[in-house]
Amino acid sequence: MLIADTLFKTVTLGDQTIEILKGISLEIKPGESIAILGASGSGKSTLLGLLAGLDTPSSGSVRHKTFSVSDADEDARALWRGNEVGFVFQSFQLLPSLTALDNVALPVQLAGMTASEAKARALNQLNRVGLGQRLAHFPKQLSGGEQQRVAIARAFVTEPNLLFADEPTGNLDGSTGDHVADLLFSMTAAHDKSLILVTHDPALAHRCQRVVRIDKGLLEAVT
Ligand SMILES: Nc1ncnc2c1ncn2[C@@H]1O[C@H](COP(=O)(O)OP(=O)(O)O)[C@@H](O)[C@H]1O
Ligand SMILES: [Mg+2]
């Protein structure tokens, strides 16, 4: 279970203080898929960053099982993310100087496994997303949809329990986006993985078991 309790996020820019999140509480069960809807600028990415331990709240807490994500320091959060978290971004965020295979192998190597073990796992994941024939391609030699499939392989390669996706189809055309979404849902459905999906697309959101909406820094249930 991932539990967020009364999250506030305030940022200061010069003499201006912006309250982005104003007391958000949320519980996500193992195996659950949840969509977070909201207008551009409503705080969706900020919330996802807090839930995934990429950033810390101004107040409130995030807990996963027995681990206090929001209290941990950056090193402890990085270790936790390496074991428990996969992240898919709108803009793919692949490393341009690494091949598809090496992009996917990297998180496994960072987790301490040998290079050959990491490559074997990366190959397996790239086959799952249908890119077994693109191993030596660099990101710029791949289409947007292919790059996002590499990013999905990378997100799943450490077998995380929490899969975060921030507008994963936002940079893709309709049918390519549908294929990428299909992959995300099928790969999280296989085990007890939770999918936390941020989108402004209601049709994509409603493919999740639960939909919430963020508005003016607060969360409301949609379904
Ligand atoms: N580090 C930051 N400093 C200042 N303002 C920020 C920062 N991060 C986000 N914001 C502001 O907070 C609001 C929410 O941002 P974001 O979470 O990216 O929204 P969304 O993902 O829903 O489009 C926006 O108005 C944005 O400009
Ligand atoms: Mg965003």
The radius of gyration of the chain's CA atoms, rounded to the nearest angstrom, is 17
Rounded mean pLDDT of the chain? 95
Model confidence pLDDT, tens digit, residues 130-157 = 999 999 999 999 999 999 999 999 999 9
Ligand 1 pocket test, pick from 8, 20, 44, 214 with the greatest ligand atom count within 8 Å of Cβ, gives 20
Cα–Cα dist 21/44, whole Å: 9
Q: How far is CA 25 from CA 65, 98, 113, in A?
A: 16, 39, 36
Task: Say which ligand is closest to the CA of 168.
Answer: 2
Task: Say which ligand is closest to the CA of 167.
Answer: 2
Model confidence pLDDT, tens digit, residues 93-140 = 999 999 999 999 999 999 889 999 999 999 999 999 999 999 999 999
pTM metric for this prediction:
0.94
Residue 43 near ligand 1, beta carbon < 6 Å? yes
Please state the atom number of ligand 1 nearest to the C-alpha of residue 198.
21
Task: Say which ligand is closest to the CA of 170.
Answer: 2
Beta bridge partners of 13: 16
Residue 58 near ligand 1, beta carbon < 6 Å? no
Between the CA of 113 and the centroid of ligand 2 the distance, in Å, is: 33
Please state the atom number of ligand 1 nearest to the C-alpha of residue 18.
5
Confidence of residue 192 (pLDDT cuts 50, 70, 90): confident
Model confidence pLDDT, tens digit, residues 36-65 = 999 999 999 999 999 999 999 999 999 999
**How high is the pLDDT of residue 181?**
94
Between the CA of 17 and the centroid of ligand 1 the distance, in Å, is: 12
Residue 174 near ligand 1, beta carbon < 6 Å? no
Domains and CATH numbers, the chain: 2-221 (3.40.50.300)
The alpha helices in the chain, defined as continuous H runs, are: 44-51, 74-84, 100-110, 115-128, 144-156, 174-189, 202-205
**CB 53, CB 62: distance < 8 Å:** yes
Between the CA of 197 and the centroid of ligand 1 the distance, in Å, is: 17
Is the pLDDT reported for residue 80 higher than 90?
Answer: yes
**How high is the pLDDT of residue 223?**
67
**Residue 154: closest CA among 175, 131, 186:** 131
Cα–Cα dist 212/223, whole Å: 7
User: Which residues does 223 contact at the CB level (< 8 Å), separation at least 6?
Assistant: 206, 210, 211
